[in-house]
Structure 1
Amino acid sequence: MAELRTLARPYAKAAFKAAQEQQQLADWANVLTMAGHIAANDVIRQLLANPGVDESKKAELILGATETDASEAVRNFFLILAENRRLALLPEIATLFNTYRAELERTVDIEVTAAFELTDDQQQKLAQALSTKLDRKVSLAASQDKSLIGGVIVRTGDLVIDASVRGKLNKMADALGS
């Protein structure tokens, strides 16, 4: 996985720089995200690995499947990826691009899993508290998992805050077992 990220990084940086210069971060992010999902599909991955299919046709296929009106710069970017046989890196390029964009815009996506369904007011208060703590604009996605018994688990990137009853019981069991 680290190798893919290493290979994808220069392409993601180049795309991000081009998007910034054109003031089209949202458009580029949209196309790259959709293209990343398409390229991650098993059937498409097999197609991308097929040396019998022209690389530029592969790029056009992926761009066409995004159903977006891609700019000339985006089309050129995809053709460069195709020329260098790097279309398979699209999922990783999209992830890196979105990470760079979130850093620039100081935003963060947070997943909250709670034992019970959170009300809109609770979600808003939690988002506000996390926004203050992380010094970022927070986009919150809440889900429910009754197996937590009580409390919440907050996930963003590699940060996980387990404030669930199940998590606390697991910690106690580990402490008693050692």
Structure 2
Amino acid sequence: MIENEIARKYGQAIFELASEKEKIEEVNNDLQLLRDTIKESSDFKNLLYHPRIESEKKKEVFFKIMGDEISELTAQFCQLLIDKRRITSLNAIARDYELRLKEFSKILEVELKAAIELPDDLIEQIRIKLANILDYKVELNTEIDKDLIGGIRIKIGDKVVDGSIKAELENLQKRLEQIPVSKLGVE
């Protein structure tokens, strides 16, 4: 919970600053590079995340490794994160930033689950239809979920449109359970 609040606060701050300086894409690329570097180098991650290593030492190593690879704006932002002991939230901040960039660019991530693998042309038709309905560019992430039995489930943010057979069966079961036994002719 606190991690999400930190990510929103710092993600918004860096996004607004990058927007003001017209460096939105550049900062996004920098943050993705940082995420990848931290993910790939456990030594670098351990140094940055270790609570007992002094901020000055962290910044020194950080700038030796990343100084020429990222913009000055991103480097200053990371220096602030180190000073405020928030560098461990970098991954969540980068994800928040990415979501803000997508919103700004009118790009929407949509999750589509189907019981079977759908043909590419059908997936493209669904993507186009959603883009037209939502008035956003749609990034469609597909996944196979055999538990659905048939049909599809679409998730957009925290909203779910469930057109699966599993959902229909569950709804039918709930309706049947609500019918009093006396109405079924059973005593």
Range into which the TM-score falls when normalised by the shorter chain: 0.7 to 0.9
Q: Residue 130 of structure 1 aligns with which residue?
A: 130
Q: Residue 70 of structure 1 aligns with which residue?
A: 70
Provide the C-alpha distance between the structure 2 equivalents of 1:7 and 1:26, rounded to a whole number of angstroms.
Answer: 22
Q: CA deviation at 1:122?
A: 0.6
Q: Percent identity?
A: 30
Q: CA deviation at 1:90?
A: 1.6
Would you say how many aligned residue pairs link Structure 1 and Structure 2?
Answer: 176
Structure 2 residue runs of 5 or longer lacking an equivalent are: 179-187
Q: CA deviation at 1:39?
A: 6.4
Per the normalisation by structure 2, the TM-score is 0.78
Provide the C-alpha distance between the structure 1 equivalents of 2:60 and 2:118, rounded to a whole number of angstroms.
Answer: 43
Q: Do structure 1's residue 121 and structure 2's residue 121 form an aligned pair?
A: yes
In structure 2, the CA distance between the partners of 1:166 and 1:141, relative to structure 1 (3 Å rule), is same
Q: Residue 88 of structure 2 aligns with which residue?
A: 88
- The equivalences for 1:14-163 within 5 A come to 14-33=13-32, 35-36=34-35, 48=48, 50-58=50-58, 69-163=69-163
What amino acid does structure 1 have at the position aligned with 2:21? Q
What amino acid does structure 2 have at the position aligned with 1:160? V
Q: CA deviation at 1:31?
A: 3.0
In structure 2, the CA distance between the partners of 1:118 and 1:149, relative to structure 1 (3 Å rule), is same
Q: CA deviation at 1:148?
A: 1.5
Residues 115-166 of structure 1 deviation map (CA, whole Å, 9 limit, x = unaligned): 1211121111100111122121101121222232111111222121111111
Backbone CA RMSD of aligned residues = 3.0
Specify the structure having the higher radius of gyration (Cα).
2
Per the normalisation by structure 1, the TM-score is 0.81
